[in-house]
Structure 1
Amino acid sequence: MSVTGIALDDWVAQGKVFRYRGHQIRWWEAGAGEPLLLIHGFPSGSWDWHYLWQALAERYRVIALDMIGFAFSDKPQHYPYSLLDQADLQQALMASLDIAEYHVLAHDYGDSVAQELLARHEQGAGFLRSLCFLNGGLFPETHHPVLLQKLLMSPIGSLIGRLYSRERMARTFGKVFGPQTQPDDRELDAFWRMIEFNRGPRVMHLLIRYIAERRVNRDRWLAAMQRTRVPLRVIDGAVDPVSGAHMVGRYRQLIPNPDTVLLPHIGHYPQVEAPEQVLQHYLAFRDQRVSVTARATTPA
């Protein structure tokens, strides 16, 4: 399956803006059909999905936003950043579009936001149609933070953020991408533009609180995943040192009838490193698993 990337300048030009809690949030929409919400990871933004965007828009109504504190949205320095608030933000956008039910494809930090959405769904809201996770810290016990994350969580986190540079970012990304699928200079420049826009490094130590939030919410999110009837799939880059094959092994231990796909030689950003494979396995999930489940639960 072929995919076509989108240059960052073109991506930004296609964005729209809405306001959330007094702040500007950049968001994107394309295609028609069943709504599919894409949720990006830390520390980048929704451009992470650019290789998949057009192919997905040929089949679905795809929607994505840069979460507050990320990429081309506002990055206030005095804000109560939290995963729960980011879930509120996702729901606020979907409500503004009058979308009551939707599918979710998430990555990294976005996985945790999606887990919160699933927990809310299971509490009776009933708005999710399916959920697919790419590499992310679904379980705190399997998440292996990189050095940058550890430093941002430390008492000198604010200083680390202010000293963050493109060179440091490139070194970190080089360690979490697969050895055969390293980002090129163009991609690194785009990642850095997302991070440094609106003085983003100055809030990284605030955003990193999500790692502690994962521990607090772990049991509630796990219970939702274990009891849900919402179709779930994990598509995971196997050699990711942060949340690779070891995370999938834990997922298979904890989740009933686990639906998982491991991508050999791929690291933490499978939608960038192997977009054709991600697209293939995501479409198969929708066609084979989600559609079958929908037919089985539709009254005759």
Structure 2
Amino acid sequence: MTLTVTPQAWYAEADTFDFEGHAIPYRVAGDGDDAVMLIHGFPTCSWDWAPLWTQLCERYGTVVAPDMLGFGRAPKPRGQRYDLMEQADLHVALARHHGFKRVRVLAHDYGVSVAQELLARQIDGTLPFTLAGVALLNGGLFPETHRQTRMQKLLRSPLGGLIVQLATQRSFNRGFSLVFGPNTQPTSEELDAFWSLVTVNDGHRQLHRLIRYIDDRIAHRDRWVGALQQAQCPLRLINGPEDPVSGAHMVARYRELVPQPDTVSLPGIGHYPQVEDPDGVWTALTPFFDRLAERR
């Protein structure tokens, strides 16, 4: 990633909408009812999509990327449950706010679970728009293949509340860098930017609550794996295989469980493909999204 768009510049162009009394920041381009929705991961935010933003907007017109509750510059209320069902509600509310009728999704990490819930709601018949297709980047689609980092294990432990009080940028940098590919490590400037967004409104003090998404994935495994297996729209998995958390081993499980799996591997890339190799993601994504446009 080259830091061509700073967090300050990214949020200078942001709008906000009200979600259950919270002012949620988001980027939006275009005003059509056929949109591309970008769903970010943990512990980062919508700024992750900056390397792809201009290209996506130029090619697809209407693109939207919110921060979720607890992330980036979104509110980070103390005591919030921060469950994934509520984060799915947030994306549905944003789609309603803009009157989207048809949505293509690109989701990463934590966001893949939100995308799975949207797929499940489409199957249930409760989604207020048509989910035209979903592209998934690295994320824990299957609890049994999600390999937690040491820091994630500590945050989920009874010591989680203490760990967040002791968190420093040095410990963040070390743990965060471990999930990147060996030749695509974040620069010190990029790490400073990521940390600055994690710590807005003391967000790093909420990480032990945000990490409960792992428990949500376990609780809803059947529903969310079933959503992949019975999806009513096309899926594509784009994966950085060097990711120790959800890399090549997760893709192998995807191929076992998902009918007619459509997967693309980006050699040498780790957990953040859109940051580490935006050109590779773009090359894998555009034929998929373009075909979805033709299916209208």
Residue 14 of structure 2 aligns with an amino acid whose one-letter code is G
The CA distance in 2 between the partners of 1:24 and 1:32, in whole Å, is: 20
Q: Which residue is equivalent to 1:257?
A: 260
1:4 to partner: Cα distance: 8.8
1:225 to partner: Cα distance: 1.2
Q: Which residue is equivalent to 2:181?
A: 178
- TM-score, L = length of structure 2: 0.95
Give the aligned length: 291
Q: Which residue is equivalent to 2:195?
A: 192
Structure 2 counterpart of 1:238, from 220, 235, 241 = 241
Unaligned runs of 5+ in 1: 296-300
Q: How does 1:1-300 map to 2 (within 5 A)?
A: 5-31=4-30, 34-60=34-60, 61-125=62-126, 127-288=130-291, 290-291=292-293, 294=295
1:89 to partner: Cα distance: 0.6
CA RMSD of aligned residues (A): 1.4
Aligned to 1:24, what secondary structure does the other structure show? strand
Alignment deviations for residues 174-214 of structure 1 (CA, whole Å, 9 cap, x no partner): 21000000000121111001100010011111111100110
Given that residues 238 and 263 in structure 1 are in contact (C-alpha distance below 8 angstroms), is that contact kept between their aligned partners in structure 2?
yes
Given that residues 119 and 232 in structure 2 are in contact (C-alpha distance below 8 angstroms), is that contact kept between their aligned partners in structure 1?
no
Residue 134 of structure 1 aligns with an amino acid whose one-letter code is L
- Where does structure 1 differ by over 6 angstroms across 4 or more consecutive aligned residues? none
Residue 11 of structure 1 aligns with an amino acid whose one-letter code is W
Identity %: 51
Given that residues 3 and 190 in structure 2 are in contact (C-alpha distance below 8 angstroms), is that contact kept between their aligned partners in structure 1?
no
Residue 22 of structure 1 aligns with an amino acid whose one-letter code is G
Cα–Cα, structure 1 residues 36 and 4, in superposed 2: closer, same or farther, change >3 Å?
Answer: farther
1:31 to partner: Cα distance: 3.9
The CA distance in 2 between the partners of 1:175 and 1:4, in whole Å, is: 20
1:32 to partner: Cα distance: 5.8
Aligned to 2:104, what secondary structure does the other structure show? strand
Residue 36 of structure 1 aligns with an amino acid whose one-letter code is V
The CA distance in 1 between the partners of 2:25 and 2:256, in whole Å, is: 38
Aligned to 1:285, what secondary structure does the other structure show? helix
Alignment deviations for residues 73-114 of structure 1 (CA, whole Å, 9 cap, x no partner): 000002221000000011111111111221100000000111
- TM-score, L = length of structure 1: 0.94
The CA distance in 2 between the partners of 1:73 and 1:228, in whole Å, is: 30
